[in-house]
Amino acid sequence: MAIVQFPKGFVWGAATAAFQVEGAYQEDGRGLSIWDTFCRIPGKVRNGDNGDVACDMYHRYKDDIRLMKDLGITSYRFSVAWPRIIPDGSGDVNPKGIEFYRHLVDELLANGIEPMLTLYHWDLPQALQDRGGWANRETIDHFVKYAETVFRALDGKVKLWATFNEPWCISFLSHYLGHHAPGLRDLQTAIDVAHNVLVAHGRTVRLFRELGIKGEIGIVPNTEWAEPFSDREEDVEAAWRRRGWLNEWFIRPVMTGEYPEKLVRWFEKLGGKPKIEPGDMERIGSKIDFLGINYYTGSVGRYNPEEGDLFGYEEVPMGWDKTDIGWNIYPQGLYNVLTYIKREFGDIPIYITENGACYNDEPGPDGRVRDQRRIEYLKKHVLQVARAIESGVNVKGYYVWSLMDNFEWAFGYTMRFGILYVDYETQARIKKDSFIWYRRLARNNYLEV
């Protein structure tokens, strides 16, 4: 057995998101979000599931933080629910919403756990969606006001701030592919949403600096790695476009203030174009302190304009193992993403803000959840993080997705990503074998391979 040591001070954490775990959807003045609405549209969410109760973390956060302390993590990544803070998205602040997150953060700090706070993880107030949502530039102003409210409430307590989680999902998955709330299917709308979210990000970063908020701020794109099936130019270009859609379209403008020109031209061929107003790109390119990277999967593909996606990219099945949600297991892709970022954008500090696997293992007769496949998945991906660090990539920490099983968006409660098993009937938490494994990793700061 070999030992792979991580740098001193490396952050080991776990992550969740508000809508997926909090529940309490009508308590203490919380407004409705687009996901509350989406869940009630027949056929949109498996089994008609919703986030009304979820993991009931709104009431159980103290017990859950005790479990985090037992896990040995030094940081917990969570998101704030905009509808809890400003129920209609643009009006009065809800003091009880602020109070909840103050108590959550205070409890984390009292247990020696640093909060990493994400301002937006998909739960747009429904009242703003009724006025056009993220396709309406007015939503940018409302988001900046919301961000200022949270900044002022938690300044000095939170040191790591993220503006948006997975802008590709906010825009293309939700407004072009239609799989997530609000479930629209229009390319130009998706491009508009992507742009407006990036402008909101840039303006929020500038506000963070202007207010003198303590700590660091970044953004969290979701990434994949698409590898060409062959060295043929059309395959190479199709794979680049696929990667670019997920990686380049969001990371490059944040890092450089420019969209990738090849993709701009491709979108124009398809009839879509970003509507850039004066000053937008400079705002988007406002200097961040770190990049959060979410990574789960990747693929190998070739150019096929008939059967491929909008970029002519058709995945070629390679016989790889898949997780229970059907995603390829491709650990090398995480290394490729991390080294691509260093190669293209230099030594920006990086946190792996989400990485994990869906395996739907149930408790055995003895109550134990033997999720060895999840342990193997995590081990292989953590090893690729170590490789990237050895290769000079400035990776500062790793957050497992997820701390606990939770509401998995369009899949409802049918897909389990947690290292804690949640019995949704009783809300009991059970430490899976992966919890025990991850605790050893977090406490040792080295990987046994």
Residues with catalytic annotation?
Answer: 166, 354
Task: Report DSSP state, residue 414.
Answer: S
Q: In the structure encoding, which two tokens stand for residue 385, read together?
A: 């993080």
Question: Would you tell me how many other CB atoms lie within 10 Å of the CB of residue 141?
Answer: 13
Q: In the structure encoding, which two tokens stand for residue 42, read together?
A: 């027949």
Query: Taking a C-beta distance cutoff of 8 angstroms, is the pair 10, 397 a contact?
Result: yes
Specify the pairing of strand 160-165 against strand 222-228: unpaired
- Name the residue type at position 335: Y
Q: How far is CA 276 from the centre of its chain?
A: 25
Query: Taking a C-beta distance cutoff of 8 angstroms, is the pair 403, 420 a contact?
Result: yes
Helix (H, G, I), strand (E, B) or coil at 303: strand
**234 membership: H or E segment, kind and range:** helix 233-243
Q: Over the range 157-193, which residues count as b (16 or more CB within 10 Å of their CB) and which as e?
A: bbebbbbbbbbbbbbbbbbbebebbbbbeebbbbbbb
Q: Which residues pair with residue 220 across a beta bridge? A: 165
Query: Taking a C-beta distance cutoff of 8 angstroms, is the pair 446, 5 a contact?
Result: yes
Question: Would you tell me how many other CB atoms lie within 10 Å of the CB of residue 310?
Answer: 17
Question: Would you tell me how many other CB atoms lie within 10 Å of the CB of residue 72?
Answer: 17
Helix (H, G, I), strand (E, B) or coil at 314: strand
Q: In the structure encoding, which two tokens stand for residue 279, read together?
A: 């000053």
In the Cβ-directed half-sphere of 188, how many Cα atoms lie within 13 Å?
9
Dump the DSSP string for 137-160: THHHHHHHHHHHHHHHHHBTTB-E
Specify the pairing of strand 290-303 against strand 222-228: parallel
Classify 400 in phi/psi space as left (phi over 0), alpha (psi -120 to 50) or beta: beta
In the Cβ-directed half-sphere of 116, how many Cα atoms lie within 13 Å?
33
- Name the residue type at position 99: E
